[in-house]
Amino acid sequence: MSQPHVMPSLEGEKLTLDEVGPRILIGGSILGVVGFAAAIAIGVGRNDHLASLGWSYLLNFAYFLSLSLGALFFVAVGHLTRATWNVVSRRIGEVVAVNLVLMAVMAIPLMLMASRVFPWASGLTHAPEELLEHKRPFLNLPFFYLRWVVYFAIWAGYAVWFWRQSVAQDRSGDPRITMRMESRAGLSLLLFALSVNFASFDLLMSLDPTWFSTIFGPYYFAAGVVGFFSLLTLLTFFLQSQGRLTRAIHVEHYHDYGKLMFAFVFFWAYLAFSQYMLIWYANIPEETAWLLRREENGWGWIGLVLVFGHFLVPFAGLLSRFTKRLRATLFLWALWILVMHWIDLYWVVMPEIRPLDPGLDSLDLLCFLGFAGFYAAALSRWAGAHSLLPERDPRLQDALAFENA
């Protein structure tokens, strides 16, 4: 079956974006500006004090944030476990993680709209005043802002630190940099877990101030990791279509991308099922209301789309070794999962806003385009003139020669 493996040579491999970078930067910026300009125009026209715009913005903010958080997890856990195979794609992960800097900037409009967007701040909620009063020590705007400053200090701080260290190693080749990153990865993941947990409460769970679920943080995390691995696959294929990293990342690495997508699709489903089943079974009114809203007025169909589209179908599709090793199928599944991840967040956010109408709002898509444009532009900006490969990582040779047994 497997031919004796030949070590891929990096001779003549194009390792920087060069002329591709500016094209993405300009194209993405234009898309971002146009998307948001249209969204703002429509949003202002709604005459709802920008509330609809804020919700669509929130949905897409949560989406792109989750992708970069997934990337930060990928980078940090790779260091923690001293992984070898992922060295070839680690730089892509680092760059996606550094987009947390962009997300920190993109958080500012959300913070400005927070008093309209979050029901506990706007008062547009059925939650009893007594309950809101009970939660006030946590759910109040000043503390909310402070928390987001802390979250982004942790996320962007670590993302930039890992990326800078890694880029510095391209020049110095010093293995101590690897050791330093490894020794700090543990603490970074601890802070990551705590901050992502609370960020998910703030951003998504608090949209229904009466509802609570202790598994919600892991659920958002798992969804983000699935999304990131799909994005990583797409970015890899995109770079390769531009003639970059064509030999450094090969079928053995695709296979691992596929396995990770498969594993996290399953893990996501496990968490989703645990949350659903436990609430369904105990049938306590203050918990089931959240699920009930997602089963009535047509939202149930979107739930079914998730059961099949976010779990059963990609699970079956990625089960075989064959589909994980074939570029075409892997590409399709990565794209599919990224779409499903968006629908998943749509299902989390929008029933709180439009419980009677599961249909798409044009603002949802325009905000998506806006975010996507800026996200891509920023990615090319960080990738910049640096190598797309951690060229002098001590494990690079092993990662290049890597082969699935």
Binding site for another protein (CB under 8 A): 1-5, 7, 81-82, 84-85, 131, 134-135, 138, 175-176, 178-180, 182-183, 186, 190, 193-194, 197, 201, 210, 212-218, 266, 270-271, 273-284, 286, 319-320, 394-395, 398-399, 401-403, 405
197 vs 242 by CB, closer to another protein? 197
CA pair distance 148, 111, nearest whole angstrom: 9
Helix axes 87-98, 251-282, angle to 10 degrees: 50
157 vs 394 by CB, closer to another protein? 394
Helix axes 87-98, 51-80, angle to 10 degrees: 150
46 vs 134 by CB, closer to another protein? 134
CB atoms within 10 A of CB 132: 18
Place of tokens 């500006």: 33
Q: Least distance from C-beta 184 to another protein, angstroms? A: 10
Q: Are 200 and 216 in contact (CB under 8 A)?
A: yes
Q: H helices of 244-357, where?
A: 251-282, 285-293, 299-306, 313-317, 321-325, 327-353
Q: Least distance from C-beta 320 to another protein, angstroms? A: 8
Could you tell me which residues come within 8 angstroms of residue 118 by beta carbon, excluding any fewer than 6 positions away?
139, 144, 206, 207
Please tell me whether residue 252 adopts helix, strand or coil conformation: helix
9 vs 320 by CB, closer to another protein? 320
Max Cα separation, the chain?
70
319 vs 339 by CB, closer to another protein? 319
Angle CA(148)–CA(372)–CA(220) in degrees, nearest 5?
A: 45
Q: Least distance from C-beta 215 to another protein, angstroms? A: 4
Q: Least distance from C-beta 102 to another protein, angstroms? A: 28
79 vs 116 by CB, closer to another protein? 79
Place of tokens 């993109």: 106
Q: Least distance from C-beta 40 to another protein, angstroms? A: 34
Q: Least distance from C-beta 91 to another protein, angstroms? A: 17
- Which of 405, 87, 85 is CA-nearest to residue 256? 85
Q: Least distance from C-beta 271 to another protein, angstroms? A: 7
215 vs 332 by CB, closer to another protein? 215
